[in-house]
Each structure stands twice: as C-alpha cells, then as structure tokens.
Chain A
C-alpha cells in the first residue's frame, strides 16, 4: 500500500490516462440533443423552442406544474407520441448526433437504447422472471439458459433478487407497488439501454420504496443517462445533476440543479422551486 502512496503521479496525469481509457471517450459527450423542438397536438401548441443537451452519464430532472409539457417532452424522446392523434413536431431530437426521426434510425432499436419507466408500475401478465426477460427475448439478446442469467443479473442490479428468487414463477402482481416498479426497472435494464426516461417513477410509491428507487437511480449513473420527470422537488434536488423547469409550454430555465434551486434566474422558477406556485 505504501508504494502506491509514494507515487508521484499527479492527479492531472491520472485524469488524462483515464480519459484515454474511457470507452465512451470517442462518443459524443451529449447523448441526446434537442434543437428548436416544437410539439403540438392538433392546433394546440404543447411546447415550443426547446434547445437542450443531455450529457452522458448524468441525471436530468424535468420539473414544472401539471400541463407544462414536461411529460410530452419526455415521451417524444423515444417517439411514444408519434402514434398519438394529431401529434406534430418541428425541430429535431438527435440521439448521438442522429435524428430519432431519420429514416435510417430503426424505431425498435431507438426504444431499446432509450428505455422508459412509467408512473404506475406496469408489469406484464406473466411470471416475474418472464417479465424481466420480456424485452431481452423480443430483441433476441438472450435465449434459453441465458435468460436465467439475464433475469438474475438484472434482479440483483435493482436489489430485488433476494425478495423474489424463490418465486420467479409467481405473478408479479403479488409484489408490492415498489417491488413492481423495481421489476419494471429490471425489465427496462435487461435490453441494455443507454438512456432511461422516467415519468414520475415514484409518484405511486411509499417513501421507503421511493428512497430505494432513488438510490438505485444514482447507482445507474454514469453507465446510463437518466431523464426524470418529477413533481417531487425534493427528489429533483436529491438525485439530479441538472434540472429543467417547464412552465406553460416553454422551457423557462435549465442548469445545474444546485444553481437552479438556489439562484434561479427567472421569477417563475423562483416561485415554483419555493413552493409559491403548484
């Protein structure tokens, strides 16, 4: 141990070595970039002029009152809105520099790389194990015995393995709400996503489950990039690196979470983060 302490390599040198070794080093720093994004349903403008970068390995919280457009924004990133009647978009969303709407972007592959967790846990009507591997099976990532490995790895990753290892063939609906949400998270992770979109992932959960989900979210970075819609301002402060504040169809302000909460530049942001506006 002492030999290591005596080393005279400077922190800067270590950093430069790490940068060379970084497997993501060659890739663009921003996983998702939106430029001039306008969203509307029919004649109703939902969101206008959103320019935003989501750096790799960070957690971004999307906050704002109900109807401010943050959920619509989130669901646009993996094209869940495309089939909604009257949905129109202008501007662009790029995943690693390539438009998600470009013809050579395969929709199924986009959804594999950009996963999603919903407000209410939505396990499929199949056994716990089948739930975890459902996506992996659909994408042909694993088959046969490999599926058991995938199931165990992902259930361990979300901290559910010990609770369910003896009842893998049970119905997922016998689990508690929090466990169901963790199961859905394991299912989303099993297809190997790079980005996870989370739509109020803990709003249907009790405080203890919320805490374990939040802890997990922190552990998932920097391997994954997370974008979280939340109504829980405390949660945004606790888990996110950056925060975007939406209000009345506009991205009012965004920045490092600490700055946005402590020194908001806009009056509306200040009012919202201080609880003066719901």
Chain B
C-alpha cells in the first residue's frame, strides 16, 4: 500500500499545478478578451457622443455627410460574398470531406485540392486585391465595381468556409451515417437530412467568420470596389461601390474633426453589424440544434 501512495506526486504539488494551469488559461483568455473589449469600447466611446441617426439616411459628400451609400454598399457586398463564397466554400468542403476518394493508405483523399485551398488561404489580401484589379478591373474592363469586389473577397474567404465545412462534416458521428445507410437512404439523402444537419453549427460558424472578415476587409476593396458618393446601382460592373471600411480608413487620415466623426461612425456601424450577425446566427443554430446529442 505504501508503495502505491508514494508513486503519486504530493497533494499540495498537484493542487499547485492545477491552479497554475488554470491561471495560465485565464491569462490567455484575457489576452483575447482585453483587446476585443478595448477596441469595441474605444469605438463606442468616440462614436456615440457625436452620433446622429441621420448618418444612416444621408449620402456622403467626400469626407463629410452621411454613410447611407457605404452601409448599403457593405450590405450588398456581404450578401454577394455570402452567395458566391458560401455556395463555393460549402460545396468544396462537402467534396473534401465526403466525395474525394480516400487514398490507398486509408487517409482522407483530395490532397491536391486541399493544398490549393490552403495556398489560397495563405495569400495576403492586398495581393489578391491587386491581382483582382489587374485581371478583372483592367483586363476585363470591368472597372472599379461590385462584381470584382465580390469575386475577390469571395476568393479570400472561401478557404475559411471550405475548411470549417470539411471539419464539421468529419466530426459527424459515424453512427448517424451508418444508421442512415442501414435504413437504405441514398448517400445524398442522408447527407441532406442527417449529416448536414448535425454539421450545421460548424458550417454556420465558418460562414460567419467569412462574412465578418469580408465586411471588415479594406485592402482588396481599395483595388476593386473604388469609391462613390452615390448608392449602389443594379449594375454589377462599371459602377464603383462604397463600403464602410473605406470611410473608416480614408476619413481617419483627414485633418478635419468632421471627417473623424464620420470615420468613427462607420466603425461603430461595422461593429454593430458584425455583432448582430453573430447573435442572429447563434439563435438560428440553437433552433436547428435543439434535437442534437449535445443539446439536451
């Protein structure tokens, strides 16, 4: 008996290690939460005192005026990215997780495809933006406009969506798939009705991050979307389109107090937009997951 007890470390030492680890994880969390709070509060504190609701209903005039055109422009771009990058990314993820044939050694297939996705994720956004400018705006004569902006932003965020879709699908319990298979469901039917349902939170999270990134991105848009004081038109090409980050960036670099107000307003709207997106998607996920194994 004594031999057994002696082979364990002392209780006090174990307690010390446990609390030390706890402190480490808390510090790491603080490292994430601190800056996030600081940024959000910084924006709110500077924007709210000068906030006028008319910002949302007035068009911009250079570095003054409202932000209506930019708000609508950003929303249009986000919807475009959701449609283009969402469908491409989710389909890519489904292919990598479900359809790519496994390799001979039993590991997951689709190696080259996955490598391509990773390479795309590694590109600096400004490089993508410049490539988009050269290939779409100049070579195809589309000019600064909505379509190149959506395409380049989509290219940028597709890897996030594909990766998160793939890993969400891989985490679906084999028992679901086997159960569906044994009932005589086709692979497609079981994917739609059983597998995707259980992978949904992961997929939605990927879409969200992608959308937030797209909404907050500046560099590729500077090269592709251009800027304008008017509302977005229905044409996909030849008409420049405004977006919020443009005003955050350009107006903050102006030497007038009025421009700074607009800049902080734009930042605040962006923050609220992203937070709303987060909350809404969490609600949607909670609703669809009320029958899941983890949600009892």
Cβ of A109: which chain B residues have Cβ within 8 Å of it? 184
Cβ of B295: which chain A residues have Cβ within 8 Å of it? 171
Within the assembled complex, what's the spacing in Å between the Cα atoms of A275 and B186? 43
Within the assembled complex, what's the spacing in Å between the Cα atoms of A123 and B193? 13
- Among candidates B175, B184, B193, B292, residue contacting A173 with C-beta atoms closer than 8 Å: B292
> Which A residues, 118 to 161, have Cβ-Cβ distances below 8 Å to chain B?
118, 120, 122-127, 130, 134-135, 138-139
Q: Does A85 contact B (CB under 8 A)?
A: yes
Closest residue of chain B to A119, judged by CB? B175
Cβ of B193: which chain A residues have Cβ within 8 Å of it? 124, 134, 138
| Interface contact A125-B184, CB-CB below 8 Å | no
> Which A residues, 148 to 190, have Cβ-Cβ distances below 8 Å to chain B?
170-174, 184, 187-188
Q: Does B118 contact A (CB under 8 A)?
A: no
Q: Does A56 contact B (CB under 8 A)?
A: no
Closest residue of chain B to A190, judged by CB? B183
Cβ of A78: which chain B residues have Cβ within 8 Å of it? 182
Interface residues on B, range: 20 to 34
Cβ of A115: which chain B residues have Cβ within 8 Å of it? 182-183
> Which A residues, 91 to 132, have Cβ-Cβ distances below 8 Å to chain B?
107-112, 115-116, 118, 120, 122-127, 130
Number of A-B residue pairs, CB cutoff 8 Å, is 85
Cβ of A107: which chain B residues have Cβ within 8 Å of it? 184
Q: What are 6 A-to-B residue pairs whose CB atoms are below 8 Å?
A: A78-B182, A80-B181, A122-B175, A134-B194, A135-B185, A187-B179
- Among candidates A138, A171, A172, A173, residue contacting B185 with C-beta atoms closer than 8 Å: A138
Closest residue of chain B to A113, judged by CB? B184
| Interface contact A125-B296, CB-CB below 8 Å | no
Given contacts A124-B176, A174-B296, 13 further A-B contacts (CB under 8 A): A112-B183, A115-B182, A118-B179, A125-B198, A125-B291, A125-B292, A127-B291, A135-B183, A135-B184, A138-B185, A170-B291, A171-B296, A184-B179
A: number of interface residues (CB 8 Å): 33
Given A127-B291, A171-B291, A171-B296, A122 and B185 touching (CB < 8 A)? no
Q: What 0/1 readout, one digit per residue, does chain B (145-177) give for beta carbons within 8 Å of chain A? A: 000000000000000000000000000010110
Nearest-neighbour CB distance to chain A for B275, whole angstroms, equals 28
Closest residue of chain A to B105, judged by CB? A85
Q: Does B91 contact A (CB under 8 A)?
A: no
